[in-house]
Chains A and B, each alone.
Chain A
């Protein structure tokens, strides 16, 4: 074996490196997965501050060294926005954090957010060779935590993206959630005059009203909004597109040549069972909006928005929103919080980390159970929830085993609050006010592969198109839509 690399041509050098890496791989497997430092579970039951504290530098580099640097980088295939994961991890291993962040930012505008809220275990980390080797996705390289690490390092010091000279064209972005932020940034970069419209009094969408502070600090979403402002994006709150101005008015009277609709999902689903109108029954949307955006946990001490003071809470559902609501109920002082889910824990759509954190905080998991009706007293307040026990039958169309009710298994759960977290339907507001825009039978906007709708100059993405999406999918669509907008607004060549 030649010892001097300078004697080798490039291909030979690569082969040599690969041999060394293969030898190293065994040692890489020996590095233990780095646990995420977290606040003490008992203490954090009463505080809104972030639970996961983030890696230390040593941890980040050790975790990065666990990456095998696979030639085919299967992790990238699992990422909805195709971040060059292998390459940014290599930079972290070398200690080049700025370079790592730059690689992520080629594809994702919100790494501090995605590092925290992406369901990595069903995306990039599911494909990770290390996880496959151990036949355990929890052994995969913690890509999300590494992404968060480099994003947090740059906090506030991130560069404001350069903006091209003015094109004189106006773009309206409807909804200031993750998708809207991406569209606003990408179209502004191209030199367009961009206005971001938000119905609430604060921008940020689901990152502000939905995802709690203890999982995604508001300051992180605020930073992204601040970057937009620095770039010259105009932000208009308290503006309900469809009602304050219609899309047609924005285009015909106000001079907008492109409109992106990223209004999110909208209407919370209820179960359609007896007792859902009782006092003490909330949609998770309402419960979380009161607690997050309106800061109801400070009721009487700086916030005027009330929320039920509960003793025993049942949260119905098994997704991330259900976990958020359950953990919020813990923090709002409930003594017992039950998470009621009709399938088993294996089928829960929530991120593994959220399930883990919820359990640590004392949320009681009641799987294979589902409410039949909610019981109330004479004043119409919730006093209990009658449930049925379930077992798993044959797989259904989603591939998950269908839960089947066990006859005669009724029992009553002693609760005073019920939070329904079983998903959303499409918001009808745009449909009610935008003639000519095509919707599917569920009320979602129909788009082509470039996020163009049936109306010229109108684009859409995120939950209002996909039904139930994630932050990263909304961002991915935002990026596609922005490319289409920039292409459509470009002067003919």
Chain B
């Protein structure tokens, strides 16, 4: 059945992975692309999620998302065998993949998920892949196994030191950029603030850096302009011009503000939702 969840896993407290039936998307998708999904076709909000992987034979795509607002909370509630309201895509321009030489892939938090297909494609194109994965703590680290398997070198960091090195991703990134030979390309995906600081590091060492942005969208096809960001002083739409951009050109400060556009409304919606569904959702919440 279209949009059915065939496989669902909770990767950490608030991070979920699901395989969803969407055969045409599974066939067409390339690294770096995203889909628009909604938990409910009638009442649901449309949100963009990067495609973490796909199985064209089974006709499924893999989505990994963090429970942050009501929409993702609703999605987390849908059991295996249930269906999403809809999935539309793949959207955005695919990542430009070629043999650059050494590519350092930096993923923070949930950003590790969209990084996986890019790192995989970079490796398949013959690049040496160095991965830096970061999380707040050991429990929140995802996809370590997958990255270990594909990377030539891997560095794990946690904010609290509960696993790997106690550091932010920028520390090992700086060391790698300072090393000789320096990497030919960096790819950084994670919280906006992390991408901003990664770009500050790589700018210092003149390492070209791709970032993948996940802004607020409605249609995902260029029509609403809600996803606009400033890149190199120009207005760009993440959905049709991106989602990947030259990180050294992105105005992250403006982007961070826009990401909070509906924060209060979203908070209210989530609180109301939890109040109404307390008994159900309390089970997997701490």
Asked if A and B are interacting partners, one says: yes
Indicate if B178 sits at the interface (CB-CB under 8 A). no
User: Contact: B269 with A279, CB < 8 Å?
Assistant: no
Task: Evaluate contact between A239 and B88: CB separation under 8 angstroms.
Answer: yes
Contact A267 B235 (CB under 8 A): no
Bound: A266/B222 CA distance, A:
6
Chain A, residues 284-306, CB within 8 Å of chain B (1/0): the string is 01100110001100011011111
CA distance A108 to B207 in the complex (A): 59
Asked if B197 is at the interface of the complex by the 8 Å CB criterion, the answer is no
Residue of B nearest to A202 (CB): B41
| Contact between chains at B265 and A243 (CB < 8 Å) | no
The interface size of chain B toward A, counting residues with CB under 8 Å, comes to 48
Q: Decide if B223 touches A266 in the complex (CB within 8 Å).
A: yes
Q: Closest CB-CB distance, B56 to chain A, in whole Å?
A: 14
Minimum CB–CB distance for B216 against chain A, Å: 9
CB distance from B16 to the nearest CB of A (A): 18
Across the interface, do A267 and B222 meet the contact criterion of CB distance under 8 Å? yes
| A residues in contact with B85, CB < 8 Å | 201
- Rounded to whole Å, the gap between the CB of A487 and the closest CB of chain B is 31
- Across-interface contacts of A279 in B (CB, < 8 A): 257-258, 260-261
A429 located at the interface, meaning its Cβ lies under 8 Å from any Cβ of chain B in the complex: yes
Q: Does B93 sit at the interface, judged by CB under 8 A?
A: yes
B41 CB contacts on chain A under 8 angstroms:
201
> Is A393 part of the contact surface with B, judged by Cβ < 8 Å?
no
User: Are B222 and A379 in contact, CB atoms less than 8 angstroms apart?
Assistant: no
List the A side residues contacting B265 at CB < 8 Å.
299, 306, 309
- A454 CB-CB contact with B under 8 Å: no
Question: Mask for A232-272, Cβ within 8 A of B = 1, else 0?
Answer: 00000111100111000000000000000000101110101
Judged by a CB distance under 8 angstroms, whether A400 is at the interface is no
Taking the complex as formed, is A138 at the interface, i.e. its CB lies under 8 A from any CB of chain B? no
B93 contacts A286, CB within 8 Å? no
Contact partners of A46 in chain B: CB under 8 A:
none
B206 on the interface (CB 8 Å rule)?
A: no
Instruction: Tell yes or no: A200 within 8 A of B by CB.
Output: yes
Quick check: which of B110-118, B122-130, B224-232 contacts chain A, the rest being far away? Answer: B224-232
Tell which of B6-14, B43-51, B163-171, B182-190 binds the partner.
Answer: B43-51
In angstroms, Cα B85 to Cα A237, docked, is 12
* B218 pairs with A286, CB closer than 8 A: yes
- For residues 259 through 280 of chain B, which have their beta carbon under 8 Å from a beta carbon of chain A? 260-262, 265-266, 268-269, 272
B89 part of interface (Cβ distance < 8 Å): yes
**How many Å lie between the Cα of A371 and that of B4 in the bound state?**
48
- B71 part of interface (Cβ distance < 8 Å): yes
When each residue 82-100 of chain A gets 1 if its CB lies under 8 Å from chain B and 0 otherwise, what string results?
0000000000000000000
* Bound: A299/B273 CA distance, A: 12
Measured in the bound complex, the distance between the Cα atoms of B221 and A427 in whole Å is 8
Q: Is A230 an interface residue (CB 8 A)?
A: no
A320 to B258, CA, bound (A): 28
Most buried by B among A199, A239, A295, A300: A199
- A427 / chain B contacts, CB cutoff of 8 Å: 221-223, 240
- The verdict on A243 contacting B222 (CB below 8 Å), with A199-B88, A300-B269, A429-B240 known, is no
Can you list the 3 inter-chain pairs with the closest CB atoms, starting with the nearest? A380-B257, A286-B224, A306-B265
Where the two chains meet, the residues of A that have a C-beta atom closer than 8 Å to any C-beta of B are 199-201, 209, 237-240, 243-245, 264, 266-268, 270, 272, 276-280, 282-283, 285-286, 289-290, 294-295, 299-300, 302-306, 308-309, 379-380, 427-429, 432
User: Given contacts A244-B88, A277-B235, could you give 8 more A-B pairs where the C-beta distance is less than 8 Å?
Assistant: A201-B85, A270-B225, A285-B225, A286-B224, A304-B40, A304-B43, A304-B44, A379-B257
